[in-house]
Amino acid sequence: MRVPLSFGLPVLRGRLAYICAIRVAQLGCFLVAGITAFLLRFEFSIPRELLPALWIGVAVWATAKIAVFHLFGLGRGMWRYFATPDLVRVGKANAVASSLAAAAILAGCPVSFPRSVLILDFLICLLLSTGVRTATRMALEVASRSTSGRRDRALVYGAGAAGALLLSETRQNGAFGHVVCGFLDDDPNKRGMLINGVPVVGRGSDLAQLAAAHQVRSVLIAIPSATGSQMTRIIGHCHQAGVAVRTMPSLAQMVAGRPVAGQIRAVAVEDILGREPVELDRRRIDERLRGCVVMVTGAAGSIGSELCAQIARFEPAALVALEISESALFHLERDMGERFPGLSFHAEIGSVQNVERLREVFRRHGPSVVYHAAAYKHVPLMERHVFEAVENNIFGTHNVALAAAESAAEDFVLISSDKAVRPSNVMGATKRAAELAIRAFQNGGPRYVSVRFGNVLGSNGSVVPIFQKQIAAGGPVTVTHPEMQRYFMTIPEAAQLVLQASVMGRGGETFVLNMGSPVRIVDLARQLILLSGLKPGEDIRIEFTGVRPGEKLCEELQVPGESALPTSHEKISVFAGPGPSWEQVARHLARLRDACERRDPGSVVRELGRMVPDYVPGEELSRRLADLEHVPMRGSLARLATAVGNAAPALPAEAGLAGRTSLSSESAA
């Protein structure tokens, strides 16, 4: 297809006109500087005999300066963004050009040349070339402000380098909807200081009075390194003052060359975590994934879909997405096709519980790296569906790990949970059992590693979307317990941790992200209400509903007996400790499979206790299982389905559990 010759000509002409205008302005500065230097030297009365020296000097100066300024790239700069680096380049270019011109004049000028004029020319040219640029920038800023629409008065929270940068860019950006009238900073020594002419008016605790005095409607947070507690305190000040609050991105999120003012955004719940995003070792990941076939199970879930997107950026030979949900996989396939049209993406429907289907997928694609994200994760639901939790989380993991070994995969990464540490629920116990199983798989084949997550903000079924729906409905926001705490991480952090672990693991390790301090769920609820522009307890009520079955008040990250070791990545630790042999794991799996086939919930829970000695079943599950001992099993399917969440065939009469005490003693044995 031939492109019309006229295509792009308006842009080309505009660019040439702009460059020509710069060159003409520069030439004018050079000529004016040379002539003015002579006029000042001779008190505006140049002797007739020195006129030849004047014209020779002007010609040499203009020629040298045009050439040097071109070499320094000063003929292409955008004067609207003239700043300190440009000032340095202008100074260097003037010094070099004046030196070359002086050498040429003194060496080859046929007439007497006053040497003091050489110094005057340098100083005047430097003043003009910087002054014209500065004046142009100021004029454009003034014009931009005068032509922009109505702008709200705002205070910038943070009188540091980021605040000064934000102020500078808001002045240049006429479309920015705020005019900065002052700075806030909690450092009392900065009170009354000026930043580019704008005063530091006070501290955050004074915001209510300052907002009224300066008639501001917004606060712009310019503290990219703010911790979660700092963000919480600042947001509290803003809502007490009744002003809107926005923030600039973290240092790691700023895009080079992109105006910071254009990245100002509403404060998100992720900001409360107060952490810089994980920086990946992209070189090692690129070396591992580029040109390889990569497989993700549970690919259409929150973590799986983010994993697929991040893996695609490393240009694998193919990406295989295994997912049991047809609709979710359909949408993932369309999304990946739009975002990564050059990617060889294979959407495969199937369950990790179906061994033959897994083998079929592995034989067809032969993945060398496998990320196993498929799992049942909701704690209360799994307390009622014991068999399904075991069959999917333990046997499903075993099936995928076995298929990976049979197909000669090189790396296998299991996505686990902090609930696997001293579990008090079925879901956590199954995840810990899966960790132990893949560790026992480590026998010289694929490198099997686990990655423990905290709660993932924004994932399907997580607390944040639930709170947001409750707030949108007018409340109340329901929290289980005032002291309930959880570790949190974002979806991108979770996916990045998985990718990093896949290139750091040697086999048998468990990796954990440094997630900071745990966050109280009630504090998270309050912050979400504040971020919605409402007041907790007034506009939106918070109700405590009681701890749900299987929940702990605070999760842990390290299993007793594990040792925490640093890694090459400052934000990732590796936990290592003794584990069972494959023979022991195989016996546990055989007993669990037998109990599931017999639909015997008591035996399943007992065997989980043997495999995971730290597992202590929740009181409600123990009570339900104990009650089954006294209920005739045949003809009682309705009650059994309610008790353990399974529509199953009739159980034998001996299926039951003597009680929590006997369970604990058997587990210890």
pLDDT digits (tens, 9 = 90+) for 195-246: 877 888 888 888 888 888 888 888 888 877 676 667 778 888 887 888 877 7
Residue 438 belongs to domain spanning:
290-556+563-576
Q: Note whether residue 278 is domain-resident.
A: no
Contact 290, 318 (CB under 8 A): no
Do both 110 and 79 map to the same domain? yes
Tens-digit pLDDT profile for residues 409-423 = 999 999 998 888 888
Contact 520, 306 (CB under 8 A): no
Query: For 81, which DSSP code?
Result: G
278: exposed, middle or buried (C-beta count within 10 Å: 0-12, 13-18, 19+)? buried
Q: Which two tokens stand for residue 505?
A: 């693991």
Tens-digit pLDDT profile for residues 581-608 = 888 999 999 999 999 999 999 999 999 9
Contact 370, 412 (CB under 8 A): yes
β-pair type (244-247, 178-184): unpaired
What does the pLDDT average to over 359-374? 94
β-pair type (194-195, 293-297): unpaired
What does the pLDDT average to over 3-11? 43
Q: Considering its fold, how many domains does the chain have in total?
A: 4
Quote the pLDDT of residue 461. 62
* Beta partners for residue 6, in sequence order: none
Tens-digit pLDDT profile for residues 241-272 = 888 777 765 444 443 344 444 455 555 666 66
Q: Note whether residue 108 is domain-resident.
A: yes
Confidence of residue 37 (pLDDT cuts 50, 70, 90): confident
20: exposed, middle or buried (C-beta count within 10 Å: 0-12, 13-18, 19+)? exposed
Q: Note whether residue 385 is domain-resident.
A: yes
Quote the pLDDT of residue 653. 30
Quote the pLDDT of residue 6. 43
Tell which wins on pLDDT, 225 or 95.
95
Do both 225 and 181 map to the same domain? yes
Quote the pLDDT of residue 661. 28
What does the pLDDT average to over 384-409? 93
Quote the pLDDT of residue 649. 34
Domain limit, last residue, from 144, 163, 188: 144
Distance CA(441)–CA(447), nearest Å, equals 9
Q: Note whether residue 24 is domain-resident.
A: yes
In this structure, how many other beta carbons lie within 10 angstroms of the beta carbon of residue 290?
A: 11
Sign of CA dihedral 475, 480, 483, 487: negative
Quote the pLDDT of residue 643. 42
Distance CA(24)–CA(588), nearest Å, equals 84
Distance CA(147)–CA(260), nearest Å, equals 21
Do both 478 and 378 map to the same domain? yes
Do both 18 and 137 map to the same domain? yes
Quote the pLDDT of residue 15. 60
CATH code: domain of residue 334: 3.40.50.720
Tens-digit pLDDT profile for residues 548-572 = 776 777 776 667 666 677 777 777 8
What does the pLDDT average to over 287-300? 93
Do both 537 and 464 map to the same domain? yes
Sign of CA dihedral 474, 478, 482, 487: negative
List of residues 6+ apart from 46 with CB closer than 8 A: 38, 39, 54
In this structure, how many other beta carbons lie within 10 angstroms of the beta carbon of residue 150?
A: 6
Helices (H), 173-300: 207-214, 228-241, 282-289
Do both 128 and 235 map to the same domain? no
Q: Note whether residue 285 is domain-resident.
A: no
The full 3-state SS of 389-420, as one line of letters, equals HHHHHHHHHHHHHHHHHHCCCCEEEEEEEHHH
What does the pLDDT average to over 515-536? 77
Residue 106 three-state SS: helix
Tens-digit pLDDT profile for residues 491-524 = 777 788 888 888 888 888 888 877 767 778 888 8
The pTM of the full predicted model, rounded to 2 decimals, is 0.63
Tens-digit pLDDT profile for residues 126-174 = 888 888 877 777 776 666 555 444 567 888 888 887 888 777 777 666 5
**Does the pLDDT value for residue 487 go beyond 50?**
yes
Q: Which two tokens stand for residue 37?
A: 């230097």
Do both 221 and 312 map to the same domain? no
Altogether, the residues listed in the chain come to a count of 669
Quote the pLDDT of residue 434. 93
Quote the pLDDT of residue 333. 94
Contact 376, 350 (CB under 8 A): no
- Residue type (1 letter), 158: G
Q: Which two tokens stand for residue 605?
A: 């829970």
**Does the pLDDT value for residue 293 go beyond 90?**
yes
Quote the pLDDT of residue 616. 86
Question: Which of 29, 143, 141 lies closest to 75 in space, CA to CA?
Answer: 29
**Does the pLDDT value for residue 637 go beyond 50?**
no
Whether residue 380 has a cis bond before it, omega within 30° of 0: no
Distance CA(136)–CA(123), nearest Å, equals 20
Q: Note whether residue 280 is domain-resident.
A: no
Residue bearing tokens 């003194």: 106
List of residues 6+ apart from 39 with CB closer than 8 A: 46
Which of 236-245, 378-387, 474-483 is least confident? 236-245
Report how many helices (DSSP H) and strands (DSSP E) the chain contains, helices first. Answer: 23, 22
Residue 563 three-state SS: strand
Sign of CA dihedral 628, 614, 646, 354: negative
Residue 428 three-state SS: helix
Q: Note whether residue 368 is domain-resident.
A: yes
Taking the chain, what is the end-to-end CA distance rounded to the nearest angstrom?
78
Confidence of residue 536 (pLDDT cuts 50, 70, 90): confident
Do both 572 and 600 map to the same domain? no
Distance CA(339)–CA(350), nearest Å, equals 24
Do both 355 and 500 map to the same domain? yes
- For 56, 142, 384, 545, the CA distances from 529, given in Å and listed in that order, are 74, 39, 32, 18
Q: Which two tokens stand for residue 372?
A: 């196993």
Sign of CA dihedral 577, 403, 503, 557: negative
- Using CA atoms of 531, 533, 535, 539 in order, give the dihedral in degrees to the nearest 10: -130
Quote the pLDDT of residue 219. 85
Do both 350 and 488 map to the same domain? yes
Contact 265, 246 (CB under 8 A): yes
Helices (H), 486-581: 491-504, 521-531
The DSSP-derived string for 140-197 is: HHHHHHHHS---EEEEEE--SHHHHHHHHHHHH-TT-SEEEEEEE-S-GGGTT-EETT
Q: Which two tokens stand for residue 353?
A: 């519980």
Whether residue 114 has a cis bond before it, omega within 30° of 0: no
E strand or H helix at 319 = strand 318-323
E strand or H helix at 17 = helix 9-41
Do both 76 and 171 map to the same domain? no
In this structure, how many other beta carbons lie within 10 angstroms of the beta carbon of residue 592?
A: 25
Do both 404 and 477 map to the same domain? yes
Average pLDDT taken over every residue of the chain: 78
Q: Which two tokens stand for residue 303?
A: 């973590």
Distance of CA 291 to the CA centre of its chain: 26
Residue 126 three-state SS: helix
Q: Note whether residue 27 is domain-resident.
A: yes
**Does the pLDDT value for residue 46 go beyond 90?**
no
* Best mean pLDDT range from 279-288, 333-342, 545-554: 333-342
β-pair type (572-576, 510-513): antiparallel
In this structure, how many other beta carbons lie within 10 angstroms of the beta carbon of residue 342?
A: 7
Distance CA(635)–CA(477), nearest Å, equals 41
